[in-house]
Structure 1
Amino acid sequence: METGTTLGRSFEIQRRVIGALLMREILTRYGRHNIGFMWLFFEPMLFTLGITLLWSLVKVEHVSNVPIMAFALTGYSSVLVWRNPVNRCNLAVEPNLSLLYHRNVRVIDIFAARILLEVAGATISFIVLAAAFISVGWVKPPHDVLRILEGWFLLIGYATGLGLTIGSLSERSETIDRVWHTITYLTFPLSGAAFMVDWLPQKLQHLATYMPMVNGVEMLREGYFGPPLKFHYDWVYFACVDIVLVLIGLYLAREAGKRVEPQ
Structure 2
Amino acid sequence: MEGDGHRQGPQTGLLHSWAIQRRVIHALVMREVITRFGRHNIGFLWLFVEPMIFTIGVTLIWSALRAVHGSSLSIAAFALTGYSSVLVWRNMPSRVIDSIEPNLSLMYHRNVRIFDIFVSRLLLEGLSVATSFFILTIIFAAIGWLSLPEDPFKVVVGWLMLAWWGCAIGMFVGALSHRSELIDKFWAPLQYLMFPLSGSAFLVDALPPDFAHWVLYLPMVHGVECVRDGFFGSQFNAHYDLGYMATINLVFTLFGLVEIRRASQNLVPA
Instruction: Return the match for 2:116 from 101, 109, 112.
Output: 109
Aligned residues: 263
Contact 1:215 1:233 in 2 (8 A): yes
Distance (Å, rounded) in 1 between the aligned partners of 2:200 and 2:65: 18
Letter in 2 for 1:138: W
Residue of structure 2 equivalent to 1:247: 254
**Structure 2 equivalent of residue 261 of structure 1:** 268
Q: Is the 8 A contact 1:61 1:67 kept in 2?
A: no
2:130 is aligned with what amino acid?
T
Is 1:84 aligned to residue 117 of structure 2? no
CA distance in structure 1 between the aligned counterparts of 2:171 and 2:69, rounded to whole angstroms: 38
Which residue of the other structure, out of 180, 194, 208, is the alignment partner of 2:187? 180
User: 1:111-190 residue pairs with structure 2 within 5 A?
Assistant: 111-190=118-197
Whether 1:238 and 2:245 are equivalent positions in the alignment is yes
Asked if the contact 2:89/2:166 (under 8 Å) is kept, the reply is: yes
> Is 1:219 aligned to residue 220 of structure 2?
no
Letter in 2 for 1:72: A
The 3-state SS of whatever aligns with 1:66 is coil
TM-score (norm 2): 0.95
Deviation at 1:118? Answer: 0.4
Report if aligned partners of 1:146, 1:223 keep a CA contact under 8 Å in 2.
yes
The structure with the larger Rg is 2
CA-based RMSD of the aligned residues comes to 1.1
1:229 to 236, 239, 246: 236
Structure 1 stretches lacking a partner, 5+ long: none
Task: Indicate whether 1:41 and 2:48 are aligned.
Answer: yes
Q: Which amino acid aligns with 1:36?
A: G
Distance 1:117 1:85 in 2: 9
Q: Deviations for 1:238-257, whole angstroms, at most 9, x for unmatched residues?
A: 00011111111111111111
Opposite residue 140 of structure 2, the aligned amino acid is F
Q: Determine what percentage of the aligned residue pairs are the same residue.
A: 50
* Counterpart residue type for residue 57 of structure 2: G
Tell me, which stretches of 5 or more residues in structure 2 are unaligned?
Answer: 1-7
